[in-house]
Structure 1
Amino acid sequence: MATKTELSPTARESKNAQDMQVDEVLIPRKVPSLCSARYGIALVLHFCNFTTIAQNVIMNITMVAMVNSTSPQSQFNDSSEGLPVDSFGDLNKAPKSLSAKAPVYDWSPQIQGIIFGAVGYGGILTMAPSGYLAGRVGTKRVVGISLFATSFLTLCIPLAADFGIVFLIITRIVQGLSQCSVIGGQFAIWEKWGPPHERSRLCSIALSGMLLGCFSAILIGGFISETLGWPFVFYIFGGVGCVCCLLWFIVIYDDPTSYPWISTSEKEYITSSLKQQVRSSQQPLPIKAVLRSLPIWSICLGCFSHQCYITATALLTLSCALSTLCQSGIYINVLDIAPRHSSFLMGASRGFSSMAPVIVPTVSGFLLSQDPEFGWRNVFFLLFAINLSGLIFYLIFGEADVQDWAKERKLTRL
């Protein structure tokens, strides 16, 4: 007849202590998010993204004031100080909204498309390396230096435009290198700061700064151009970026263990949550498996199609509003399927999507020059087809489980 084995009080207490330790590791005690260090990090990243995207967008707003659209024939690079003439050549009838102190330029639609797309050339080159570099040397250095560089170059754009179109394009390319390093390098910080079940929320808070930056630049960029002149748009947003860069170097730390203002309970909560995520910095990146992974390609194509954006203003506004939902989906999907290599793959996917800001303005300028009356319709139809194909591919091949090639592999020696 079977009988229960009674444990001694000492053994029972030891077993209970072990169970409590297991419970603490598996279900860590959650720390409130209000006034927490990890959400403070997300808020600082929010302002960094706000600044970066605002500096990227302001060229689209100031171009209206920078270009003399009344010129009968646009030349490659020809600037004229003062107000543009009207169609009859009368300076007195020139629009009063343009500042007399701001120069204007005769740039064709093709040249304008190249200027818009120049900032994306750097993104193709630096998005993936910046994510990999941030995972190795730290997000604080990569993002901080890149943020300062793009802010400084924003201040230099009016001077570069005066020097000529070539100088302006080169400045925009280098600025794109810096901006994409900010965007691609920031995701590595959540490998050490973001509990797995909070990463979507933290990334959404940080990435929402992009939408706010775009909205703010469009809202006040035209007002600044009208009252102060278009160069002050670059001066103001460049100065804001320098202030944000100073805040970044003061507040941001690469991991919670070295953060001086974090509470002990929150530090234990983050570290215990990350213990459940198996990672090994010694394991090399499986390049062949990544290239054969359809979920990775679905993320890349989804990001690409999202970056490309309907005949009515209401539908266009609605599409831009709904597109922000992608930030908590495809943009952080890499953290779900390959957390160990997330910093590199996040940058690689965003780098792939950076081809869109390069291709779209150039193709749009070509279509508009070929058909000035119906060119915009062809542009929107093309973008609709690209966006729909990216959505379908992602719905078919996208996944949320850790992939086999991204799991821990135990090496055995004979």
Structure 2
Amino acid sequence: MPLPNGCSINAESPEESDDAKALVQDDVAPPPCCSARLNLAVLMFLGFSVVYGLRVNLSVAMVAMVNASDPSVDRNTSVPPACPVPSGSRNSSGALQQPEGTPQYPWDSETQGWLLGAFFFGYLCTQIPGGYLAGHYGGSKFLGLGVLSTAVLTLLTPLAAGWGSSWLFALRALEGFGEGVTYPSMMAMWTRWAPPLERSRLMTLSGSGGSFGAFVSLPLTSLICEKLGWPAVFYLCGGAGCLWFFFWLAFVSDDPRTHRRISEEERDYIVNSIGAQGTGHGWSVPLLSMVLSVPLWAIIITQMCSNWTFYTLLTSLPTYMNDVLHFDLQSNGFLSALPYLGNLLVSLLSGVAADRLMERKVFSTTTVRKLFTFTGLLLPAVFLVPVGYVGCSHILTATFLTLSTSLGGTSSAGVFMNQIDIAPRYAGFLLGITNTFGTIPGVMAPIVTGYFTEDHSLEGWRKVFWVAAGINVGGAIFYTLLGSGKVQPWADTEENRAEPARTRTVVL
């Protein structure tokens, strides 16, 4: 059976043979410590930490930006608070304390939902072209410029908010437009940089920067809002993105062959282990075969299901903490961030575990991806539903939300890297496709949440959590039935198909 590096290995079954395509390599791996591939993963981790900070800062800052005491704000005063406001709480129905002169705006819940979802309207537009161009030219420039453009636009947020909600909506959509190329570019780079038996750990490390960014930015945003005023949030976050860009330019290369600081041993190891699949896909791609690919549709549908829950919590959790549980702003930021710390740790452990299971041939690639995807969607649903039924218990609410989001991190070693399994050469382009569909929940979830929770009642939030949990369970079942970890025939290279079969030695 042909392998991505143009070689073959004898196998006992078609399942094992196809899945082994991505797991054969000749050379003993150089130590990852201080290696160029690990440095790349760390820089990506920091980059995605920044972009997620830029993405979620509005969800916390919104609590400070809205003048809750303004009578024009749509607060249904005939409905009593879902939970009692703690005595002496700084976070009451009145306006949140801001430094003198800090502007606030009379945006109702529907307007806030549209503003929180605006980012994803732009984010939808550049996923596919970004993945296509990154797969052809290499991803480093697209990833770097995507972060830089989002950071520069973030600096303009206070100005746009002062002009009106329509201007802020347009600015957030432009930020999404710039950031849309980042994840497809990451996948395109790992196509050339990630040895098959290290894919899970390298890609989960780089991708988990998003969870770390949410974990850091949510409480930090709350603190900055109270101490310096909400405009400072956008100035500081935008400045951090600009600073990261200069380090990215200095230390990153599209391909290990052109990296200035990589050792010869590591370069040969990466190039030989990846083989022909580590080259660009050129201008032509098998679009019809992709459209008809069942494993690709399994990824698309499953990512949409998983992202519905993720984006619901990412954009609306601070609002839930404020409107229902009445946390003060600093506690709101910390408790909204806590689940993402758990998600970060579970993601990293899942990546290592997935690689180990495949290295030791405990399970095939297909089985590993399905196992981590199923647990990463089902378990979060199990713990999300009780959130709406624990009443006003702060401890139980924080516990269930943390468990739900943390356990969702196991899917990072499953469906969220499955593109590189089924079509390594086209992985960046495929991620653009799957992320485009996966971003639709980012647009819809805040709007649906705003519709369900107009009266700020627990009953409305129960509907939000039930819908998210049901969608998650549907995605887990769908992927388990139709997902695959095999390299698809339309993704094989001519070199692989022409190579005569011969047995290789696997060095683990």
TM range (shorter): 0.7 to 0.9
Partner of residue 341, structure 2: none
* 1:3-37: CA deviation from partner (whole Å, max 9, x where unpaired): xxxxxxxxxxxxxxxxxxxxxx9511210000000
Alignment of 1:62 with 2:61, yes or no, is yes
- What displacement does 1:405 show? 2.1
Partner of residue 43, structure 2: 44
AA aligned opposite 2:444:
I
CA distance in 1, matches of 2:173, 2:438: 16
CA distance in 1, matches of 2:464, 2:25: 51
- The answer (yes or no) to whether the contact 2:277–2:493 under 8 Å persists in 1 is no
Matched residue SS, 1:296 = helix
CA distance in 2, matches of 1:228, 1:386: 40
- What displacement does 1:96 show? 7.1
- The answer (yes or no) to whether the contact 1:193–1:256 under 8 Å persists in 2 is yes
Unaligned runs of 5+ in 2: 1-23, 75-92, 310-383, 388-396, 499-508
Partner of residue 238, structure 2: 238
AA aligned opposite 1:70:
S
- The answer (yes or no) to whether the contact 1:54–1:214 under 8 Å persists in 2 is yes
Alignment of 1:210-229 (within 5 A): 210-229=210-229
- Gap change, CA 1:223 and 1:278, over 3 Å in 2: closer
Partner of residue 261, structure 1: 261
- The answer (yes or no) to whether the contact 1:140–1:253 under 8 Å persists in 2 is yes
Larger Rg: 1
Give the percent of matched residue pairs that are identical in Structure 1 and Structure 2: 33
AA aligned opposite 1:121:
F
- What displacement does 1:301 show? 1.5
- What displacement does 1:369 show? 2.1
Alignment of 1:331 with 2:416, yes or no, is yes
RMSD: 2.1
- The answer (yes or no) to whether the contact 1:101–1:229 under 8 Å persists in 2 is no
- What displacement does 1:147 show? 1.0
274-283 vs 386-395, which moves further: 274-283
Matched residue SS, 2:38 = helix
* 1:275-324: CA deviation from partner (whole Å, max 9, x where unpaired): 26486735832222211222111111221111112213311111111112
- Gap change, CA 1:102 and 1:285, over 3 Å in 2: same
AA aligned opposite 2:439:
S
Alignment of 1:349 with 2:434, yes or no, is yes
Among residues 399, 422, 433, which one is paired with 1:314 in the alignment?
A: 399
- The answer (yes or no) to whether the contact 1:97–1:227 under 8 Å persists in 2 is no
- Gap change, CA 1:140 and 1:44, over 3 Å in 2: same
- The answer (yes or no) to whether the contact 2:281–2:426 under 8 Å persists in 1 is no
AA aligned opposite 1:160:
A
Partner of residue 183, structure 1: 183
CA distance in 1, matches of 2:276, 2:104: 58
AA aligned opposite 1:188:
A
- The answer (yes or no) to whether the contact 2:67–2:95 under 8 Å persists in 1 is no
CA distance in 1, matches of 2:283, 2:114: 41
Partner of residue 292, structure 1: 292
CA distance in 1, matches of 2:440, 2:153: 21
- What displacement does 1:370 show? 6.5
Partner of residue 476, structure 2: 391
CA distance in 1, matches of 2:184, 2:494: 27
272-281 vs 215-224, which moves further: 272-281
Alignment of 1:24-103 (within 5 A): 26-74=25-73, 97-103=97-103
Partner of residue 491, structure 2: 406
CA distance in 2, matches of 1:279, 1:244: 27
CA distance in 2, matches of 1:285, 1:136: 10
- What displacement does 1:371 show? 7.0
AA aligned opposite 1:365:
G
- What displacement does 1:210 show? 0.5
* 1:28-84: CA deviation from partner (whole Å, max 9, x where unpaired): 121000000011001000000000001101000100000011223228xxxxxxxxx
187-196 vs 269-278, which moves further: 269-278
- What displacement does 1:100 show? 1.6
Taking structure 2 as the reference length, what is the TM-score of the superposition? 0.70
- The answer (yes or no) to whether the contact 1:211–1:324 under 8 Å persists in 2 is no
Larger RCO (CA under 8 A, 6+ residues apart): 2
CA distance in 1, matches of 2:488, 2:451: 42
- The answer (yes or no) to whether the contact 1:279–1:340 under 8 Å persists in 2 is yes
- The answer (yes or no) to whether the contact 1:71–1:106 under 8 Å persists in 2 is yes
CA distance in 1, matches of 2:457, 2:71: 15
AA aligned opposite 1:299:
I
AA aligned opposite 1:173:
A
AA aligned opposite 2:480:
L
CA distance in 2, matches of 1:273, 1:137: 21
CA distance in 2, matches of 1:239, 1:265: 37
CA distance in 2, matches of 1:371, 1:167: 27
Partner of residue 80, structure 1: none
- What displacement does 1:101 show? 2.6
CA distance in 2, matches of 1:45, 1:402: 26
Partner of residue 443, structure 2: 358
Partner of residue 105, structure 2: 105
- What displacement does 1:332 show? 0.7
- What displacement does 1:388 show? 1.0
Alignment of 1:140-159 (within 5 A): 140-159=140-159
Matched residue SS, 2:486 = coil
AA aligned opposite 2:132:
Y
Unaligned runs of 5+ in 1: 1-24, 76-92
- Gap change, CA 1:177 and 1:282, over 3 Å in 2: closer
- The answer (yes or no) to whether the contact 1:26–1:276 under 8 Å persists in 2 is no
27-36 vs 182-191, which moves further: 182-191
Partner of residue 13, structure 1: none
- Gap change, CA 1:319 and 1:223, over 3 Å in 2: same
Among residues 446, 461, 472, which one is paired with 1:376 in the alignment?
A: 461
- Gap change, CA 1:131 and 1:281, over 3 Å in 2: closer
- The answer (yes or no) to whether the contact 1:187–1:346 under 8 Å persists in 2 is yes
AA aligned opposite 1:248:
W
- Gap change, CA 1:122 and 1:96, over 3 Å in 2: closer
CA distance in 2, matches of 1:63, 1:234: 12
- Gap change, CA 1:370 and 1:223, over 3 Å in 2: closer
329-338 vs 288-297, which moves further: 288-297
AA aligned opposite 1:340:
R
AA aligned opposite 1:221:
T
Matched residue SS, 1:185 = helix
CA distance in 2, matches of 1:265, 1:194: 15
- The answer (yes or no) to whether the contact 1:131–1:186 under 8 Å persists in 2 is no
- The answer (yes or no) to whether the contact 1:46–1:207 under 8 Å persists in 2 is yes
Q: How many residues matched?
A: 371
CA distance in 2, matches of 1:131, 1:283: 12
